[in-house]
Amino acid sequence: MHMIETIVIFSVLLLIAILFEPVSKQFKFPFSSLLVLVGFIGSELIVLAGFDTGLRWDDFVGIILHFLVPIIVFESAFNANFKVLRLNIGTVLYLAIPCMFVASIITGLILFIGIGNSVGFPITSALLAGIILSATDPVAVVDIFKKLGAPARLTALLEGESLFNDATAIVAYTLLVSFALNGSGMQTAPSVIMFFLNNALGGLVVGLLVSYVASKLYSLSTNHFAYALFGILTAIFSFYFAEHLLHVSGIVSVLAGGLYLGEFYRNNQTNNDTFSANLWELNAYIANAILFILVGVTITVSMFTGQWLAMLIGILAATIARAVVVYGCLPVFTFIPSVEKIGSRSKNVMMWGGLRGAVSLALALSIPTDIEGWYTIQSIVYGVVIFTLFVQAPFMEKLVLKLKESN
């Protein structure tokens, strides 16, 4: 009964948000921000009415990590501009892996020093928060890019960075959570590197194999419903085989499968059939909507009254870390002769466009309560995401317009 009531409540909140979506567009207000507001106001009204389903945020951990996040990652990979992404793969991987770790360490250290409570908020918890906040989500930015016709390379850099650093962040999160809970195991650099290689390469191989089999099955049918079903089965099987059978990264597997199958589908589609692409957009739309409403539902007033300082430090730390990556680390890589330079206005867009969203929220919601300072980490992530949704995202259109004018 509790589950049925919760589904009904979420459906009503989602319906309300969709009905207000035209208003958000009219006032250039990000839809994801509206979802958070609807979730928060709706949950507060439900509490005031004395209604309690008995379910709490930690009841959704499995659904978030094993259902919502794989859908979001697969759709992003499936519909990515593979040709432009391939041309900029060096820069994308540089941003998504080494720069992501630089940002994580900077964010973690600032949080650890700023909060100054090594007992209640140890360095492992600070670094865990840093990793979670290093996962970018430019969904709102990319929508603006598409509407205004922003440069394809800039779009590919932001989308590609998000796609790959989400996978990197999830693998790093898994490692650090294991260390924080067990306090033993992979403590040397070689063992950590082997863990990453095993997870990443294992997931990559599984995703490519499953998507390759799916591509061969395409030839057995000319029905676009079957094509779409092959895509859904690829996402399910690649994640399941990798995560649960082989114990490697399911997210990397889903990412690899989505990239391979998406490019195969575009090269072999007939009559400009976009059914599969549109279906995955719908799947990701629903998954994102549920996730952001869930965030709104789980936000409490006590977060702002009791954790406001930690939130502010988190916003400052995440902003500084992003600035170091965009204005410090990125120019170093573009000194390589074969790498195309990035203009100052494009860097400004990348700096302000490094929003935190779905994956950061999913990881924050999935933190085990046994970890010291878990509530502080969750509050910090919520604070940073709310800042990006309500402060950064609304100003992106002006930055993109300035970029277009300069071009």
What is the pLDDT at residue 58?
63
Radius of gyration of the chain (CA): 21
pLDDT above 80 (res 186): no
CATH number at residue 332: 1.20.1530.20
Place of tokens 């402060």: 391
pLDDT above 90 (res 8): no
Give the structural domain span for 75: 57-295+303-406
Average pLDDT of the chain, as a whole number: 83
What is the pLDDT at residue 205?
94
Domains identified in the chain, total number: 1
Q: Is residue 401 part of a domain?
A: yes
* Average of per-residue pLDDT across 37-64: 73
Cα angle at 323 between 318 and 317, to 5 degrees?
Answer: 20
Q: Is residue 28 part of a domain?
A: no
Please name the residues in contact with 400: beta carbons below 8 A apart, sequence gap of 6 or more. 144, 145, 148, 150, 349
Q: Is residue 370 part of a domain?
A: yes
What is the pLDDT at residue 1?
43
Q: Is residue 34 part of a domain?
A: no
Structure confidence by residue, pLDDT tens digits, 57-79: 666 677 777 888 888 888 888 88
* Average of per-residue pLDDT across 251-275: 83
Structure confidence by residue, pLDDT tens digits, 340-352: 888 888 888 888 8
Q: Is residue 244 part of a domain?
A: yes
Q: Is residue 311 part of a domain?
A: yes
pTM of the model: 0.86
- The answer to whether 280 and 78 are in contact (CB under 8 A) is yes
pLDDT above 90 (res 380): yes
Q: Is residue 2 part of a domain?
A: no
